[in-house]
Amino acid sequence: MSSHHTRHGYIYALAAFGLWGVIPLFFKALIPIDSMDIVAHRVLYAVPTLALLIFAKKRWGDVKAALGNRKVMLTLFASAVLIAINWVVYVVGVNGGRVLATSLGYYLNPLFNILIGHFLLKEHLSRSQWAALAIAGLGVGALALGALGDLWITLSLAFSFAFYGYLRKQVNVGAAPGLFIETLLLAPLFLIWLGALRDMGDPLMGPTPLHTALLLVSGLVTALPLLLFTEGARRLPYSTIGILQFIAPTLQFLMGFLLFGEILTPVRAFAFAAIWIAMALYIKALVGAERAKRVSLAKQSS
């Protein structure tokens, strides 16, 4: 892998995780629009945005192949439901003043991936991974005892995104074609939602021109980080992506605490401390596995 190829991979990945990290600013700017309305517009405008992207990258063949496969479509329908839940909970959390809870959910996500790998894919876990899970469990337990309002957001985000990733790995469909089909499947539901709003006399767009403009670009906000991420993931080792993914929840944590003035209560502080220790163990295990893989490949080639 050339240094030029790798350097571009870092640029793409850092841009993707950076955008995901500051996305609370976008959703905060859409207040006072209802969270479900925001997600409805996000889904509907993502469809043409992704269609243009797929057209530009000449990936319509992938879309047609997926549409013609019943098993793939059933899997994408299930993943569409999960990503819709994830998006709704995320916007509810951000616009409800719980950015810290949303960031904690995405810190937990890699650990939920480990659990899925062990129980569903029968993957062996190292001692570091078991220790990471146990320590993270202490953090979740603290939230259960002292911050239930945070807990449901944190666990909903971690569960939905982890199982979303698991389902997407079961089908051989690219990121953009897959997300296009998912949003296409969700579009009728959210069209009905917006139609019901119109029938009740509620406005379909934002209360100001700025809100309306932000809603119109919400599809791009959905598609652009995904495109950057897929380009970065193609160019970088799995372990590198695994470490860089913590940029997004870290930025969200800093914004919640420093910018939005959310209170870091003792319970929240304990939960974050536990999760950060767990993340350190997770990264240690990830780097160790990558190093062992390189050593093994070097021995085979010698």
3-state secondary structure 131-180: HHHHHHHHHHHHHHHHCHHHHHHHHHHHHHHHHHHHHHHCCCCCHHHHHH
For 17-67, how does the pLDDT look when each residue is reduced to its tens digit (9 = 90+)?
999 999 999 999 999 999 999 999 999 999 999 999 999 989 999 999 999
Q: Are 94 and 256 in contact (CB under 8 A)?
A: no
Write down the pLDDT at residue 226. Answer: 84
Fill in the amino acid letter for 14.
Answer: L
Joined together, the tokens standing for residue 23 give 């996305």
Q: Around Cβ 120, how many Cβ atoms within 10 Å?
A: 10
Judge whether 229 and 12 are in contact, CB under 8 Å: yes
Structure confidence at residue 192 (pLDDT): 93
Determine contact, residues 124/177, Cβ cutoff 8 Å: no
Phi, psi of 203 (to 5 degrees): -70, 140
Q: How confident is the model at residue 205 (pLDDT cuts 50, 70, 90)?
A: confident
**Rounded Cα–Cα distance for residues 185 and 174 (Å):** 16
Give the pLDDT confidence of 118-152 residue by residue, as tens digits: 898 888 888 888 999 999 999 999 888 887 778 99
| 201 band by pLDDT with thresholds 50, 70 and 90 | low
103: left (phi over 0), alpha (psi -120 to 50) or beta: alpha
Residue 182 above 70 pLDDT?
yes
The pLDDT, as a whole number, for residue 199 is 72
pLDDT at 2 over 70: no
C-alpha atoms less than 13 angstroms from C-alpha of 154 in its C-beta half-sphere = 27
pLDDT band at residue 207 under the 50/70/90 scheme: confident
The pLDDT score that the predictor gives to residue 299 is: 77
Between CA 1 and CA 107 the distance in angstroms is 29
Under 8 Å between Cβ of 181 and 189? no
- Would the pLDDT of 224 be above 60? yes
Residue 242 has a pLDDT of 80
Whole-angstrom Cα distance, residue 102 to residue 256?
A: 9
Average pLDDT, the chain: 90
Q: What pTM was estimated for this model as a whole?
A: 0.89
**Cα separation, 182 vs 82, whole angstroms:** 10
Question: How far lies 241's CA from each of 5, 13, 246, in Å?
Answer: 15, 8, 9
DSSP 236: S
Query: According to the model, what pLDDT value does residue 65 have?
Result: 97
For the cut 60, the answer to whether the pLDDT of residue 1 exceeds it is no
Considering only residues 205 and 266, tell me which one the structure prediction assigns the higher pLDDT.
266
pLDDT tens, 258-288? 999 999 999 999 999 999 999 999 888 888 8
